[in-house]
Amino acid sequence: MPPQLATSGDGARIAYDVTGSGPPVLLLHGGGQTRRAWHDAGYVSRLSSELTVICVDLRGNGDSDKPDAVDRYAIDHLVDDILAVADAAGAQTFALWGFSYGANIGRYVAVRTGRVRSMVYIGIPFGSATPGPFREMILGLRTKWTPVVAAHRDGTFDDRLLSDDDRRAWQRGAVPVTLAWLGAMLDYPIINPADMPCPTLWLVGSANADAMASATAHKAGLDGTEVSLTILDGLTHAQELERVDVTLPHALAFTRAHGH
């Protein structure tokens, strides 16, 4: 399906598609994915008879613009992107489902805008946007690739100096953009369950070690917050999205219970 395009506050074009009819739900994909992930896993076809399903390519991905400067991925811009899509699609308020990176971004939309009626938060911790090992991974990538990107920009780059694997990674063309969006996340503020202003379903696969550690740490403190936790038995992080037969019933029942 060819995308529609919304223009964000800084001029970035954000691609999205709309399927079905009914109350709106925005679906935000994981890191390195595109809006097609929701189609391919079967969510859109199952939801579109009941909901207006709006799938977004987060900036840097899919058919959306792909700036390669870190400041273009500041969280204010990402929130503006989602609101620009919602406005273009006629969704004044909406349910929001996010998987992995999409959940990370979506929680800021919920906290900052008042337009999210309910959220399904799939497969990541609360707290820092870049916890522990994830932060170390980003810092390692930045140390490795920043000199390469700089050399490319000033005309001194020689890909013969790269290993075969690194040369292939560079030739795929995504390294500068990936460094930008990952690096921006290092400065995103902490959000904990108590900060969520809307009913939020936290779905965590029991084989997703990082999210399970966060779920265990926060579980006792969820009473009195808007966040409820459901453990998906046996699911890895990838399966939290892929196993539509397990994830969708929980997510849809929650969204229905909170006025779509």
Q: What is the pLDDT of residue 260?
A: 67
The pLDDT assigned to 51 comes to: 98
Helices (H), the chain: 36-40, 43-47, 75-88, 101-113, 132-153, 164-171, 175-185, 209-218, 237-242, 244-257
State the greatest distance between any 2 C-alpha atoms of the chain, in Å, as a whole number: 58
Positive or negative CA dihedral for 124, 128, 133, 136? positive
> In whole angstroms, what is the distance from residue 2 CA to residue 259 CA?
30
Look at residue 225 and tell me whether its pLDDT is greater than 90: yes
The DSSP string of 13-57 is EEEEEEES-SSEEEEEPPTT--THHHHHTTHHHHHTTTSEEEEE-
The H or E element that residue 235 is part of is: none
* Contact (Cβ atoms closer than 8 angstroms) between residue 101 and residue 29: yes
Q: What are the angstrom distances between the C-alpha of 41 and each of 19, 22, 219, 238, 240?
A: 15, 21, 29, 11, 11
Are the C-beta atoms of residues 197 and 114 closer than 8 Å to each other? yes
The answer on pLDDT for 197 being more than 90 is: yes
> What pLDDT score was predicted for residue 155?
85
Q: How far apart are CA 119 and CA 260, in angstroms?
A: 10
Residue 2's pLDDT band (boundaries 50, 70, 90)?
A: confident
Q: What is the pLDDT of residues 152-169, one digit of tens each?
A: 889 888 888 899 999 998
Can you tell me the distance from the alpha carbon of 146 to that of 4, in angstroms, rounded to the nearest whole number? 33
